């Protein structure tokens, strides 16, 4: 991050080289005289080079990266100059595998006045896209893409996407409050996590647009304050940055970074809890750290679901060289590393600098960019590809669009859908797994809800979290493992139930008594 940069950098009076000889796992410092070998086919090696990365922040590379996933695509955002020294907007990159990044677009945000922005993070919520970022004055700003109702493809950084600055002071706090991230609970409660003196803080917020709300909770235990600060060196304020909270299998995971971005021992910590109140740092922090070699200063960590729908990764950055230095000449690059969830924590080999397999694709995926070839229509309805993105169903009775590809008995699937118009009191669109399972959306008597139709020929209904609307794009992720079925709505787990066991079958979509749009569809076997 760049917080306090203008005067902390000026206060640096010495250069300090941190030389540990071993990393946190006890590995010896590599022999830099060895010849660098080419990257093996099908693999990548950290740090990752991003197209036009030096244009992001005046030659300083990819700093404070976050990655947003939307219908099989990934979008990379970083700390950037915005309208200063010749820059004309906010740059975004796109990838389908987290490794090969292509420049996507530069956007000019209406109503935004800052020259520089720090650590952006992006979310999709109830039909709109939000980016939370920080900048001069120690405040958080919010950008919003309010997707028009008639837009078929709401791609967040498509040519037609218009972003507007909602506020330059989201949290409305008198003290410094930056590096914001948002946690949405199934009951609709929303929390903003942010950085300040003495560690990580959070508060309940009123809405995605309004960061006012509940009292501020200080997570004093979540602070990177165990670094031996030398007199005259940076980091003396005990600053802790980039808190991001993630919920997985009922547990909360918080990553945070400190103490100062110019230090080679800038490091990532992890805290775990069964609730927000008992988030506790793991015993072997730092979780990710590198203090020697060509790339040090690991920081700003962000969780990502991999393209195969099963594996998880974290993005973060590393700084070139091991010295504390002024901002001039500093260079950072993107790092991507896989993680594994255990019963109690998240395990990782990060930071890695050897060859790693490029994250694999799903076993099956289709974006309907051309047509509906490879699918069979069942029932009396029309299913027509639209705008190279979606398929529109016009169904008065039950109709299905079924692929030619089958899952195995246990699988993870992802489906995207919305109801455009209703034709009766019970209008439905959903994901189909043969004759075994339907998981979908229903509009009935002005009520929006999610339903499951299983092998017992029974409907089970659930409320959509936080009043999501079935007329907005809804992402459903379905995990079937033995008798257990989990359903996520826009990355929020809302259903965990037992079902009759069933074997593999073909997947697709269904529509009944409605006009509906369906889009990107994928699965991977477990």
DSSP state of 422: E
The whole-angstrom separation of Cα 425 and Cα 338 is 46
Chain centroid, CA 19 distance in Å: 34
What pLDDT, on the 0 to 100 scale, is given for residue 62?
Answer: 94
Peptide bond into 286 cis (omega under 30): yes
In the chain, the percentage of residues whose pLDDT exceeds 90 is 70
Structure confidence by residue, pLDDT tens digits, 33-52: 457 899 999 999 999 999 98
The whole-angstrom separation of Cα 285 and Cα 304 is 21
Contacts 24+ apart (CB under 8 A), 23-32: 23/289, 23/290, 23/291, 23/292, 24/284, 24/286, 24/289, 25/349, 29/292, 29/293, 30/293, 30/353, 32/293, 32/294
Which residue has tokens 């070839």? 373
Find the largest Cα–Cα distance for the chain.
Answer: 77
What pLDDT, on the 0 to 100 scale, is given for residue 82?
Answer: 87
The whole-angstrom separation of Cα 209 and Cα 216 is 18
| H helix runs in 94-137, sequence order | none
Peptide bond into 34 cis (omega under 30): no
What pLDDT, on the 0 to 100 scale, is given for residue 14?
Answer: 27
User: In a 10 Å sphere around its CB, with 0-12 CB exposed, 13-18 middle and 19+ buried, how is residue 135 labelled?
Assistant: buried
What pLDDT, on the 0 to 100 scale, is given for residue 28?
Answer: 55
Positions in the chain whose pLDDT score sits under 50: 1-21, 31-33, 229, 231-232, 327
Task: State if pTM tops 0.85.
Answer: yes
The whole-angstrom separation of Cα 100 and Cα 225 is 36
Element (H, E) at 99: none
> Would you say 80 and 116 are in contact if contact means Cβ atoms under 8 Å apart?
yes
Question: By C-alpha distance, which of 213, 214, 219 is closest to 201?
Answer: 219
The whole-angstrom separation of Cα 395 and Cα 415 is 19
Strand partners, 295: 320
Chain centroid, CA 453 distance in Å: 30
What pLDDT, on the 0 to 100 scale, is given for residue 6?
Answer: 34
Q: How many residues does the chain have?
A: 526
Coil vs helix vs strand at 278: helix
What pLDDT, on the 0 to 100 scale, is given for residue 25?
Answer: 54
What pLDDT, on the 0 to 100 scale, is given for residue 8?
Answer: 33
The whole-angstrom separation of Cα 472 and Cα 490 is 11
- Pairing mode of beta strands 506-512, 426-433: antiparallel
> Would you say 398 and 379 are in contact if contact means Cβ atoms under 8 Å apart?
yes
> Would you say 118 and 57 are in contact if contact means Cβ atoms under 8 Å apart?
no
Element (H, E) at 355: strand 355-357
Q: In the numeric block, which tokens belong to residue 57? A: 């922040």
The whole-angstrom separation of Cα 525 and Cα 36 is 37
The whole-angstrom separation of Cα 394 and Cα 419 is 10
The whole-angstrom separation of Cα 84 and Cα 189 is 38
Coil vs helix vs strand at 10: helix
Structure confidence by residue, pLDDT tens digits, 239-253: 789 999 999 999 999
Which residue has tokens 């965990």? 496
């Amino acid at each position: 991050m760049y917080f306090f940069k203008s005067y902390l950098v000026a206060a640096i009076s010495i250069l300090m080289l941190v030389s540990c000889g071993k990393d946190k796992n006890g590995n010896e410092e590599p022999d830099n005289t060895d010849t660098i070998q080419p990257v093996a086919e099908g693999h990548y090696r950290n740090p990752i080079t991003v197209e036009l990365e030096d244009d992001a922040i005046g030659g300083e590379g990819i700093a404070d990266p976050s990655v947003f996933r939307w219908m099989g695509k990934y979008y990379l955002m970083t700390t950037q100059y915005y309208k200063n020294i010749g820059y004309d907007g906010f740059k975004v990159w796109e990838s389908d595998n987290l490794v090969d990044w292509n420049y996507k677009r530069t956007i000019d945000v209406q109503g935004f006045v800052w020259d520089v922005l720090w650590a952006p993070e992006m979310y999709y919520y109830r039909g709109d896209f939000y980016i939370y970022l920080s900048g001069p004055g120690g405040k958080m700003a919010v950008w919003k893409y309010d997707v028009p109702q008639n837009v078929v493809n709401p791609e967040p950084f498509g040519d037609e996407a218009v972003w507007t600055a909602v506020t330059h002071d989201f949290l409305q706090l008198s003290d410094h409050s930056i590096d914001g991230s948002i946690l949405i609970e199934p009951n609709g409660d929303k929390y903003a996590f942010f950085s300040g003196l003495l560690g990580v803080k959070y508060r309940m917020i009123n809405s995605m647009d309004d960061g006012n709300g509940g009292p501020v909770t200080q997570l004093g235990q979540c602070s990177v304050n165990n670094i031996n600060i030398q007199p005259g060196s940076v980091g003396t304020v005990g600053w802790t940055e980039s808190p991001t909270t993630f919920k997985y299998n009922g547990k909360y995971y918080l990553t945070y970074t400190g103490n100062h971005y110019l230090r080679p021992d800038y490091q990532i910590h992890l805290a775990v809890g069964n609730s927000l109140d008992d988030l506790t740092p793991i015993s072997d922090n730092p979780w990710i750290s590198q203090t020697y070699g060509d790339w040090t200063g690991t920081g700003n960590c962000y969780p990502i679901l991999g393209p195969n729908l099963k594996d998880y990764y974290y993005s973060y950055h590393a700084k070139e060289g091991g010295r504390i230095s002024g901002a001039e000449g500093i260079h950072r690059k993107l790092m991507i590393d896989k993680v594994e969830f255990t019963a109690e924590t998240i395990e990782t080999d990060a930071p890695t600098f050897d060859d790693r397999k490029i994250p694999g694709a799903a076993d099956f995926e289709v974006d309907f960019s051309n047509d509906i070839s490879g699918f069979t229509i069942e029932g009396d309805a029309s299913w027509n590809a639209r705008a190279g993105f979606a398929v529109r169903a016009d169904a008065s009775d039950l109709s299905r669009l079924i692929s030619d590809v089958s899952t195995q008995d246990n699988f993870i699937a992802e489906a995207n859908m919305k109801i455009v118009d209703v034709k009766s009191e019970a209008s439905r669109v959903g994901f189909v797994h043969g004759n075994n399972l339907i998981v979908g959306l229903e509009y009935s008597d002005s009520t929006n809800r999610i339903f499951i139709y299983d092998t017992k020929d029974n409907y089970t209904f659930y409320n959509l979290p936080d009043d999501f609307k079935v007329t907005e794009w809804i992402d459903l992720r379905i995990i079937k493992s033995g008798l257990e079925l989990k359903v996520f709505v826009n990355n929020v787990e809302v259903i965990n139930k037992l079902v009759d066991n069933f074997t593999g079958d073909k997947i697709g979509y269904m529509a009944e008594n409605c006009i509906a749009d369906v889009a990107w569809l994928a699965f991977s076997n477990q």
